[in-house]
Structure 1
Amino acid sequence: MYSYVFDDATALPVDTDGAFTYTFHRAGDHEIDRYDPRGGPYDETARHVVVGADYTPVPPVRLLDTRHSIGVTTTTPVAAGADLVLPIPSVAGIPAADISAVVANVTVTQPTAGGHVTVYPDNGASVPTASNLNFTAGQTVPNLVTVPVDGGGVVFHNGSSGTVHLLTDLQGFYGRGGSGFKPVSPARVLDTRSGLGASSAGPIAAHGTLALILSGRLPADATAAVLNLTVTRPTDHGYLTAYPHAGAVPGVSNLNFTAGQTAANLALVPVAGGKVDIFNGSGGTVQVVADLEGYFGSAVSGANQSYVPDGPARIVDTRYGTGVPKAPVPADSSISFYPHWYQTCSTSCPLPVGAVLNVTATQPQKNGFLTVYPNEQTVPNVSNLNFTAGATVPNLVSVADPGLMIGVYNHSGGSVQVIVDEEGYYIAPQTWAD
């Protein structure tokens, strides 16, 4: 008979000489120690088991808006170099102790100087060397963020020399009792310029809504779709909101843009009746492109992968030679790199079947876009983030079947510097045996 001690803070030793079941409260790489309670020493070789969490989408809701004292007590912007702590004691009735990570769309607006924002768990750790959003003075920039809530909240660090206002719209959370994930090879499901996925070619009208039919792409029990949304040729500034079909337009945004801008952002959108709606919250028309990157649903439908938070951690920075040679990515060329889990995970770790990365393009010489893909595969005909000459643009990226190395292809006529921060990964169902 042995006694097992788990690294979960709420765990108690389990005495057994047979099979047993234990449920961890959060996803991650957990350590299991074994010893003989009759006086024997601890087993010197600790066991490890990687535990994933399933996803539960929620109706989008605004948790933070420093302009209007939502989530905070004042309308004061976040000061230069300062931190803002947003408590998240529970989501949809689930306490923070049982939540591995939340998914939220974070937007920076009215910054008085260029810089970046880093979002990380409120667990007493120092600010990680990573960024979620990069911006210039006066710019409004959104990005989807997946952040652990270890400690019962998240921290927003303003890495600039000026003030910023922050908005945070909750999209869902990873925990117990949700839906598994199924990544797919990126596929274009909407392009209003050509009429793909729409009733006819043409932009979405001002304050208009487009119903995107995904029933031919998703199983009937899909709960949410992972879409990379891109706006192009907008005739006025505004925003896009993606939400379940036939529901009321929520008071949140997925993607903000200015007139003439091409911008992209990843969205995890709840599905209703095999459809999602896309609302154009601007006074002008806008062309929209959507690439399907995966879905959440039941194991029967193939969605049996679970999420493991692993970051944020910087793994690539071509400006300084982090993870790759110190040089920008040349025009129409690619770089490849090892993800964080390959460098740090023990030999017992499962090979991830999906990667979640925050990718940033900076100092591009010309307009273009980046495509992130498994390095062993052909570059797919999709975009993950679009940029203009001289701009800095971030976007969250989901990569299916990444293998041992991941590639980033620069589709532009000039060089571009690339930054990659790992946020986590997906694993297939696992079993553990002593």
Structure 2
Amino acid sequence: MRRLAAILPAAILMALGVSTGPAEAVAPVPAASAVAGPTGAYTPLKPARLLDTRKKIGVTTTTPLGAGRYVDLQVSTRGGVPTSGTSSVILNVTVVSPSSEGYVTIYPTGSSRPTASSVNFNKGWTGANLVTVKLGSGGKVRVFNYAGNAHVVADVVGYYHASTSTATKSYGGYAGVDPSRILDTRTTNDPLPAGYYLSTGADFTTAVNPHVRAFAVNVTVVKPTSAGYLTAWNGDENAIPGTSTLNFTKGKTVPNMAVVPTRACGTECTDATTPVIGVLNTSGGSAHVVVDLVGIYDDNTLDGTWRYRALPGPTRIVNTKTGQGISSAIPSNGTRTVTTPSSITTTDTMALVTNTTANKPTTTTVLTLWNADYTRPTVSNLNPAAGQLVSNMTFTDIGTDYDFSVHNRVGSTNLVIDVAGTMEAAPAPALAKSAAKVAAPRLAPQGVQLAARHR
């Protein structure tokens, strides 16, 4: 494998304390011992393919999934997901060459199909979306195709523990960060060539670095010169997985959320324990790559991290076409604020794990979601083309009023947002609201160049 570079921006841990508003950014701190049991904690996995309708993986035929048809996909016991004690899994789901516009909905087997979508697509499109889904009967999830014929691929990247989990190690909590761009090859006009990879990371100081186990990042490919895909993984060149993180066609700008295991940087960084990931370009041409960091997962050592609470199934909170959550399409340079319904939140809700869908914007645009208590960050969540129907998973911190903001850069676009679950303050999610929402601990990365580009 050819290695292009080690591009290693760093993040600096801000002051510690209790968050009182947008002026402060505070963070989890190392605790003397494990801070909570496994309930709601996350275990990252090496990406593993569970479904590929093109190759009889997870199914018994190579026939594409037809309109109104579904597959009950066995998830538990496969790809590192345990037999029991799992609440939800994170799947990277790719739809390949659908015969018509439509969507795929993924939900717990045995549950009623929700009014929600997991991957939205135009005819002929090939692309991926990260999906967090609760396991259903027999440790399965149902993959339902709404219209036309489409091949579907699903890779598992990690899982959340249920209250029945008996695990004693290899899990941790989640912490949101101030959304920060930790890599952008456009700044030096030096795109990633075909067959090469680069590394990028974030330095949270020696007290925190050894405890980071995974990054939650939004990875974007910008105007690639050829069709192909990117693979994000821990950067170990001797253990590159045979899976994809995002798929793209020539000239398109495509984002996808990813939860990526990290490794220690080693001698390339001032602090050898600095967590890093790798991004590989598997295509026939070069491509610019952008990576925005939105959160981290630890090893259950940092005090103040959050735990995942799954909803029974995907729950819609925004549909601009019907006036739900946002009254109408978001105009050019428009910002709208959404207050999360009380049926979804608890006193301890820190963030939402959602599927956000841009519905045929009038112009190619950029959409950003963020905590309404803060100013808009210089990152993106979706980069839809004019007329495109496309989704992306988002981790969105919410403010003290349980609210978040959405900004549309140009043109006008309709929007749909479905919530899969919430991130709750550890050690235990509250069962009902009390007088005040707890403060949200945050990490505030700042980019610093640590290594020059080299072969």
Tell me which interval the TM-score lies in, with the shorter structure as reference length: 0.7 to 0.9
**2:73 is equivalent to residue 86 of structure 1:** yes
Question: What is the deviation of 1:141?
Answer: 1.8
Separation (CA, whole Å) in 1 of partners of 2:94 and 2:386? 22
What is the aligned partner in structure 1 of residue 108 from structure 2? 121
* Equivalent residues of 1:238, 1:282 under 8 A apart: yes
Q: Matches of 1:227 and 1:416 in 2, distance apart?
A: 24
In structure 2, the CA distance between the partners of 1:72 and 1:383, relative to structure 1 (3 Å rule), is same
| CA displacement at 1:219 relative to structure 2 | 1.9
What corresponds to 2:128 in structure 1?
A: 142
Q: Which residue of 2 aligns with 1:56?
A: 43
Any conservation in 1 of the 2:105–2:143 contact (CA below 8 Å)? Answer: yes
Establish whether residue 270 from structure 1 lines up as the match of residue 261 from structure 2.
yes
Letter in 2 for 1:269: V
Q: Is the alpha carbon distance of 1:400 and 1:283 closer, same or farther for their aligned partners in structure 2, counting shifts above 3 Å?
A: same
Residue aligned with 1:193, SS: helix
Within 1, Cα distance between the matches of 2:140 and 2:228?
30
1:343 matches 2:343: yes
Asked if the contact 2:79/2:156 (under 8 Å) is kept, the reply is: no
Q: Which residue of 1 aligns with 2:199?
A: 211
Whether 1:192 and 2:185 are equivalent positions in the alignment is yes
TM-score w.r.t. the length of structure 2 is: 0.78
Q: What is the match of residue 405 of structure 1?
A: 403
Q: Deviations over 1:264-288 (max 9, x none)?
A: 0000000011221110010100000
Structure 1's unaligned 5+ residue stretches are 1-50, 196-200
Once the 2 structures are TM-superposed, how far is the Cα of residue 213 of structure 1 from its aligned partner?
3.0
Quote the sequence identity (%).
37
From 364, 367, 372, the equivalent of 1:367 is 364
Q: Is the 8 A contact 2:372 2:398 kept in 1?
A: no
- Deviation, 1:96, is 4.4
Residue 306 and residue 433 in structure 1: after superposition, are their counterparts in 2 closer, same or farther (change >3 A)? Answer: closer
For 1:249, the equivalent position in structure 2 comes to 240
How far 1:379 moved relative to its partner? Answer: 1.2
**Are residues 398 and 324 of structure 1, via their aligned partners in 2, closer, same or farther at CA, if it must alter by over 3 Å?**
same
The offset of 1:299, in angstroms, is 4.3
Q: Which moved more, 1:139-148 or 1:241-250?
A: 241-250
Aligned equivalent of 1:23:
none
Shift in Å at residue 125 of structure 1?
A: 1.8
Paired with 1:144 and 1:210, the residues of 2 have a C-alpha distance of 22
Matches within 5 A, 1:147-296: 147-151=133-137, 152-160=139-147, 162-175=148-161, 176=165, 177=167, 178-195=171-188, 201-216=189-204, 219-246=209-236, 247-273=238-264, 274-296=275-297
Whether the 8 Å contact between 2:81 and 2:159 is mirrored in structure 1 is no
CA distance in structure 1 between the aligned counterparts of 2:127 and 2:406, rounded to whole angstroms: 22
Structure 2 SS opposite 1:335 = strand
Any conservation in 1 of the 2:50–2:79 contact (CA below 8 Å)? no
Structure-2 residue corresponding to 1:8: none
In structure 1, distance between residues paired with 2:421 and 2:363 = 31
- Equivalent AA in structure 1 for residue 114 of structure 2: P
Report the counterpart of residue 272 of structure 2 in structure 1: none
Q: In structure 2, what is the Cα distance between the partners aligned to 1:191 and 1:203?
A: 9
In the TM superposition, residue 52 of structure 1 has moved relative to its aligned partner by: 4.7
Question: Structure with the greater relative contact order (CA < 8 A, sep ≥ 6): 1 or 2?
Answer: 2
Q: What is aligned with 1:9?
A: none
1:367-398 superposed Cα distances (whole Å, 9 cap, x missing partner): 11100012232111110010111111210000
Q: Which moved more, 1:359-368 or 1:261-270?
A: 359-368
Unmatched 5+ stretches in structure 2: 1-37, 265-274, 432-455
Amino acid at match of 2:315: A
Q: Distance in 1 between matches of 2:288 and 2:108?
A: 36
The CA deviation at 1:343 is 3.0
Distance 1:191 1:378 in 2: 21
How many Å apart are 1:207 and its aligned residue?
A: 1.0
Q: Which residue of 2 aligns with 1:356?
A: 353
What's the secondary structure of 1:293's corresponding residue? strand
The separation in 2 between residues aligned to 1:386 and 1:336, in whole angstroms, is: 19
Out of 319, 322, 325, the residue aligned to residue 320 of structure 1 is 322
| Residues 130, 393 of structure 2: 8 Å contact kept | yes
Task: Report the Cα distance in structure 2 between the residues aligned to 1:62 and 1:168, rounded to whole angstroms.
Answer: 6
Correspondence for 2:6 = none
Deviations 1:218-273 (A, max 9, x none): 72221101110010020000000001122422110000001100010000000011
Deviates more, 1:402-411 or 1:184-193: 402-411
Q: Would you say the 8 A contact 1:242–1:269 is kept in 2?
A: yes
Residue identity matched to 1:231: V
Instruction: Say if 1:402 and 1:84 are closer, same or farther in 2 by CA, change over 3 A.
Output: farther
Residues 348, 430 of structure 2: 8 Å contact kept: no
Deviations 1:327-364 (A, max 9, x none): 21111012222224x2355xxx3331121111111121
Q: Which residue of 2 aligns with 1:376?
A: 373
Q: SS of the counterpart of 2:343? A: helix
CA contact (8 A) 1:264 1:385 kept: yes
- The aligned amino acid for 1:356 is V
Opposite residue 74 of structure 1, the aligned amino acid is: T
Provide the rounded CA distance (Å) in 1 between the counterparts of 2:428 and 2:256: 35
> Partner of 2:29 in structure 1?
none
